[in-house]
Structure 1
Amino acid sequence: MSTVQIPEHFTVNDKHQDAYIINYAHQEKLFRQKISFEYYTFSLLVEGIKEIHTSSANDKIYPFNFLVVKRGNCLMTEKLSNNSTYRSKLVLFSKDFLQEFIRKYQITISKNESSSSSLYQILAFDDYIRLYVQSISSIEISPRMQRAKVEELLIYCYEKFGSQLFSFLTTELTYPNLQQVVEEHVNENLSVEELAFLCNMSISTFKRAFYQTYDATPSKWIKNKRLELSKNDLQDVKLRASDIYLKYGFGSLSRYISAFKETYGITPKQFQQSLK
C-alpha cells in the first residue's frame, strides 16, 4: 500500500498554501494506511473511529475528540460509524505558519524532551470546538479565510493550554531504535513494510538493521518471539490454545499448534500437561 502524504494527498489540484481547512469524509473502511505528516495536523473527529499506530504508542480516537499530530509517520485505521460514514475536519498548517504564529503572539517555548518521542496528543471537544467545527462545515472557505480559521484555532489552543501544546509541536519527533519499535508492536501482526515505515527506514535498511540486531530475519524472529510469549501465557492452565492464537497473530488455531510443535517438539496441550 502506498504512503499518503499530508497535505499533498488533499491538494493535488491546488496551489501551495501554508494552511488548509479540509472537510474529510468517506464510506469505506481504511485499514492501517501509511500516513506521512509533512504539515502539523488537527483531526477533529465527528463520526466514526480512528486508530493510530506510531513507533511508540497505539490509541483509539472517538467522535468529539481531536488528534493533534506533528510531523512524522504513523499507521491509521478509520472505522465507519453505524451510518457507514467516517467524517472529520482537518486543520493543516506548515512549519513556517506555526513559527510565524509563535513570533506574532510572542509565545515562549520551553524544551520538553518527553515530547520528542510522541507524535500526537488527544484532546476532547468543548463548546468552543463544537462551534468551531460548525463554522468550517457549512460553506467553502477561501484560502485567506482558511488561514484565518487556522489561526483562530491556534489562538484558542494557546488561551486554553498555554505554551505547552506549542512546545510539543515544535519538539521534533525522535524515532525510537529498531528494537524498541519491534518489541512494542510484536503482537500486532504488522508487516515488515509497516514496521520499517514506523522506524522511518526503507525496507532494505530495516532488514539489514534487524539482522544486525537479532541475528535472524524479521519473519523468523517475530514468529519465535510470539511463540515464546504465547508459551508464557499457557503456563496459566485455565487458558487454552484456542484462547490465545489470535492474540499472537496466527491466522488459525491449526497454524498456531503446528508452529508451536515445530518449535518446541510438543503441542500446546502437551506443554500444559507437562506443568501438572
Structure 2
Amino acid sequence: MEFETQYISPDIKLSLFSGKCFKTEVMFEHHILVWFISGETKIIQAEASYIFNAGDIFLIPRNQLATVINYPKDGQPHKAVAMHLTTEKLKEFYSRHKAVGKVQPLQKVYRFTRHPLLESCLASLIPYFDLGESLPADLAHIKIEEAISILRAIDKSVDGLLANFAEPGKINLADFMEHHYMFNMTLDRFGYLTGRSLATFRRDFKKVYNTTPQKWLTEKRLKLAHYQIAENKRKPNDVYLEAGFENLSHFSYAFKNLFGYPPNGLLQK
C-alpha cells in the first residue's frame, strides 16, 4: 500500500506514503500541527511556498488554500505526525486563557523547525502508533493542550491565528481569484472562500470576467505553466502539478490545444 494513515485519536494521526509523489489541493477545516519524520513536503500558497524535511515542525492555518506535494527522500518514505487543533478545542482553551495581542486571520504557514519542546511533545505519541493502540481521550486532550501551550510560549503572535474563530466573509472576487487560480479546488470551495454560494459565485464571476470559471481557470493555469517553462526554463514534469493540473497527459493536451504546440516545444526554442 502506497498511502497509509493510522489514528490514535480522532485528532491525532500518523501518515505514511511510500510512492513516488503524492499531490493534493487542501483547505483544512482546522489548523494542523505537523511533525515531519522523513521524506519531503512542498507546500504552495498564493503568496509563498515552503519546503519541509525530516525534523521540521510547522502549523498550517485553517481555511487557506494550499497545494501539498509529498515525496519520499533518501530511501525513506514520507512520514509525518499530524495533530488537528479543532475550533471546538481552541474555543474551550481560550475560554480559560486570554489571547495575547491582536486576534486576526493570519495566513502564513508557521515554521517551528526542530524545536525541542514541540518535538518532545509530538515524539511522545510515537509509542502509541508503534503499539497500534488508541490514546485515552483524557490523555489526547492533555497532549493537544500541551501542544497549544508550547506554541503560545515559543511564538507570541500565534494567538492571532489560534484565537480567531471568524468564518470567511464576502470579499473581492477578482482579487481572490487572481491570487488563487492555480489551486485545483472545486467551484464550491472557491465560492465558500469568497463568502458566496455556488450560484452567487458563478453569477459574480460572469459579471467580472464575462466567461465561465472553468474556462478562465484553465487558461490562467496554462499561461502560468507557459511562463514557468519559457522564462524560468523549468521542465513540464516539474510544472504541471504546481499549475493546478492532476496529470501530465491532460496538461500536455490542454497546453497544445491553447498554444498550438506541446510544452516540450518551448524547451527547444
Secondary structure of residue in 2 paired with 1:200:
helix
Looking at structure 1, the residues matched to 101 and 88 of structure 2 have their Cα atoms a distance apart, in angstroms, of: 19
Looking at structure 2, the residues matched to 198 and 227 of structure 1 have their Cα atoms a distance apart, in angstroms, of: 19
CA drift of 1:76 comes to 2.9
1:178 aligned onto 2:173: yes
Kindly provide the CA deviation profile for residues 170-213 of structure 1, in whole angstroms up to 9, marking residues without a partner as x.
Answer: 22364754323332245x4x44x446525536766544332221
Secondary structure of residue in 2 paired with 1:108:
coil
Question: Equivalent residue for 1:134?
Answer: 123
Are the aligned partners of 2:35 and 2:58 in contact in 1 as well (CA < 8 Å)?
yes
CA drift of 1:66 comes to 2.2
CA drift of 1:241 comes to 8.6
Aligned residue pairs, count: 238
CA drift of 1:55 comes to 5.9
Structure 2, gaps ≥5 residues long: 244-249
Question: Equivalent residue for 2:151?
Answer: 157
Counterparts in 2 of 1:151 and 1:244: CA distance versus 1, 3 Å: closer
Kindly provide the CA deviation profile for residues 36-68 of structure 1, in whole angstroms up to 9, marking residues without a partner as x.
Answer: 32x332111112223334566543333322222
Find 2:139's aligned residue among 137, 145, 153: 145
Secondary structure of residue in 2 paired with 1:60:
strand
Task: State the identity %.
Answer: 16
Query: Taking structure 1 as the reference length, what is the TM-score of the superposition?
Result: 0.65
Structure 1, gaps ≥5 residues long: 1-8, 234-238, 263-267
Find 1:216's aligned residue among 211, 229, 239: 211
When Rg is computed on C-alpha atoms for both structures, the one with the higher figure is 1
Counterparts in 2 of 1:229 and 1:59: CA distance versus 1, 3 Å: closer
Mapping for residues 38-187 of structure 1, pairs under 5 Å: 39-54=30-45, 57-74=48-65, 75-104=67-96, 106-113=97-104, 116=105, 118=107, 120-139=109-128, 140=133, 141-162=135-156, 164-171=157-164, 172=166, 174=168, 177-186=172-181
Are the aligned partners of 1:45 and 1:89 in contact in 2 as well (CA < 8 Å)?
yes
Q: Which amino acid is 2:86 matched to?
A: S
